[in-house]
Amino acid sequence: LRSLPADISLAPARLELRSAGACGALELPPGLSLAPASCRGLRSLPGGALHLRLRLREAPGGAELVYNLRESLKPQKNCIFYCQSCGDVIVKERKFLRVLPLPSENWSALVEEWCCHPNPFAKSTLHPQRDDCFLGDTFFLLNSENESHKSKENTRVFCKRCKTMLGETISSDTIKYYVTEVIIQPSEESFSTIPRSQFVQSMVAQCLMELSSAKSTFRFTIKGDDGKIYILIWLLNSDTLLVESLGSSSSHNVFTLFEDTFLPNSGAVGTWNAVKVLYQPCIKSRNKELADAWEDDFGVHPLKFPSETCLELLLILGLSTTSLPPSLQCMNSFQVRSSCY
pLDDT tens-digit series, residues 210-244: 999 988 899 999 999 999 999 999 999 888 887 77
When pLDDT is averaged across residues 198-207 and rounded to a whole number, the result is 93
196 vs 152 pLDDT, higher one: 196
Strand partners, 240: 274
Identify the pLDDT of residue 21: 79
Identify the pLDDT of residue 228: 96
Strand partners, 110: none
When pLDDT is averaged across residues 19-32 and rounded to a whole number, the result is 82
- The DSSP code for 285 is G
Q: Is the peptide bond before 5 cis (omega within 30 degrees of 0)?
A: yes
In angstroms, the CA 229 to CA 291 distance is 7
Read off the pLDDT band of 263 (50, 70, 90): very low
In angstroms, the CA 69 to CA 87 distance is 16
CA distances from 240 to 237, 312, 341 (A): 6, 23, 11
Report helix, strand or coil for 295.
helix
Q: Residue 88 above 70 pLDDT?
A: yes
Q: Residue 141 above 90 pLDDT?
A: yes
At position 111, the amino acid (one-letter code) is V
Identify the pLDDT of residue 110: 63
Chain centroid to Cα 7, Å, comes to 38
In angstroms, the CA 10 to CA 42 distance is 13
In angstroms, the CA 139 to CA 204 distance is 11
| Mean per-residue pLDDT of the chain | 83
Nearest of 220, 130, 114, 224 to residue 173 by alpha carbon: 130
When pLDDT is averaged across residues 23-38 and rounded to a whole number, the result is 85
Q: Residue 115 above 50 pLDDT?
A: yes
Identify the pLDDT of residue 124: 66
Q: Residue 52 above 60 pLDDT?
A: yes
B/e letters for 288-309, b = 16+ CB within 10 Å, e = fewer, are eeebeebeeeeebbebbbbbeb
When pLDDT is averaged across residues 203-216 and rounded to a whole number, the result is 92
Read off the pLDDT band of 168 (50, 70, 90): very high
Q: Residue 29 above 50 pLDDT?
A: yes
Q: Residue 37 above 60 pLDDT?
A: yes
311 vs 43 pLDDT, higher one: 311
Identify the pLDDT of residue 252: 39
CA distances from 295 to 54, 105, 299 (A): 39, 14, 9
Range with the poorest average pLDDT among 141-155, 178-192, 298-312: 141-155
In angstroms, the CA 273 to CA 63 distance is 7
**Strands, E assignment, the chain:** 7-11, 14-19, 22-27, 32-45, 49-58, 79-83, 89-94, 98-101, 132-135, 139-143, 156-158, 165-171, 174-178, 182-186, 219-223, 229-245, 268-281, 300-304, 330-331, 334-340
Read off the pLDDT band of 64 (50, 70, 90): low
Q: Residue 150 above 80 pLDDT?
A: no
Identify the pLDDT of residue 257: 46
Identify the pLDDT of residue 160: 93
Range with the poorest average pLDDT among 57-66, 233-242, 265-274, 289-298: 265-274
CA distances from 192 to 86, 91, 133, 319 (A): 11, 16, 23, 26
In angstroms, the CA 214 to CA 251 distance is 44
253 vs 81 pLDDT, higher one: 81
215 touches 208 (CB < 8 A): no
* Torsion (CA) 316, 317, 318, 323 in degrees, nearest 10: 90
Identify the pLDDT of residue 36: 84
Identify the pLDDT of residue 256: 47
